[in-house]
Chains A and B, each alone.
Chain A
Amino acid sequence: MSASDGRIEAAISRTLRTGVLVSVVLLVAGLALGIADGTLRDDSPDGAAVVLITLGLVALVITPMVRVLASTVIYWRSRDRVYLTFTLAVIALLALSVLLGATA
């Protein structure tokens, strides 16, 4: 365990907690609105409730990516070349998988 590991653990834990919190607030607000305004009952595909829920899901989905990005920054700063390479490879491969999926 090197000196940078403690900082990375704290940063990752904080990143994940923040992402989850933002997502929960948006999802709860969207669900509550959907129940209140009838969007849920009518199964309507649009409206503010659906927008809020979608934003909440987007926040949830990008949280692991933000976690990798945060680790990349810390490895960069602590000049840990090997782990910087690993995190950059993960980011590049994830981008590639999204591009391949998007065009498939």
Chain B
Amino acid sequence: MGFLRCNGRVTPLLFVLCAFALSIAGGLVGSLVGLGGGIVVVPALTILLGVDIRLAIAASTIAVIATSSGAAAAYTRDRLSNLRVAMFLEVATVAGGISGALVAGFVAPSILNAVFAAVLLVAAVTMLRTRHDATAVPASDLADRLQLHGSYPDRATGTEIAYQVGRPRTGFGIMYFAGITSGMLGIGGGVFKVPAMDLAMRLPIKVSTATSNLMIGVTATGAAVIYLARGDIEPFIAAPVALGVLIGAAVGARVMPHLDGTVVRRLFVVVLLVTAAQMAGKV
């Protein structure tokens, strides 16, 4: 475990190399589960490399955008992302992000963390037990009118899989909630996007994570601009993180079309549980 030697006093060059290597893992996991890779990058920077949490969170917004753009180019070309669902739901997440930032001062973070940890735990259990059946998607006039339904080429089986999208209003509502959480806590909003598309709207899991992956870049942009303007983004932390994440995300996006949906679902549930534990730890 050479990475562990990054802990403690390291030379700046070794720090850059370690941040780069750890971020490759972050980009790989992040691109597969549709989150920003912050779940790997923040603990890696703070625990292994001793970076201040404020700088780590600022760098992780860069990681989120890098994961999104790095993987979404491939997911969009491979038609794994559902663009219409993304454009529709982005309105809710960005609006929620603003609401969250505005009310952030009025609710105790420990209460928020406790509530979100509980919600994530329920989502994880539900997602693990759910077995999707294409005929079970509830019909929706709004989804028809917005032409949200789609299809994607599944390389694992070599077939084109058509799917229907249900409950757009519920999905929109949960996305607004997801935006609020990311606005209030600075991180963690992405973990609600995939369950919303999976459980409420009934998108195939790979489409859910690929679409979430496209959206998180836009959601994180507002925060990233503010961090950049404030000077919270340390160049020699952010640069290796961005480059590592971009490489990891590019690899992840190549692997994803060949993966079985069940594998992606299980990986997502593991990440959900880890995030719930992290939030519970802050209560």
B226 within 8 A of A: yes
Residues in chain B near residue A98, CB distance under 8 A: 222, 225-226
Interface residues of A in 72-100 (CB under 8 A from B): 82-83, 86-87, 89-90, 93-94, 96-98, 100
A101, B226: Cβ atoms closer than 8 Å: yes
Residues in chain B near residue A96, CB distance under 8 A: 98
Docked pose: A68 CA to B145 CA in angstroms? 21
Interface residues of B in 100-137 (CB under 8 A from A): 101-102
Residues in chain A near residue B73, CB distance under 8 A: 13, 16-17, 20
Interface of A is mostly: helix
A5 within 8 A of B: yes
Please tell me which one of the listed residues B65, B68, B87, B229 contacts residue A87 in the complex, with CB atoms under 8 A apart.
B87
B3 within 8 A of A: no
- Give how many A residues have a beta carbon under 8 Å from the other chain's beta carbons: 54
Interface residues of A in 1-23 (CB under 8 A from B): 1-2, 5, 8-10, 12-13, 16-17, 19-20, 23
B222, A97: Cβ atoms closer than 8 Å: yes
Q: List 14 additional contacts besides A23-B242, A94-B221; criterion CB under 8 Å.
A: A9-B79, A12-B83, A27-B243, A31-B16, A57-B233, A60-B242, A64-B221, A83-B87, A96-B98, A97-B101, A97-B222, A101-B226, A102-B226, A102-B229
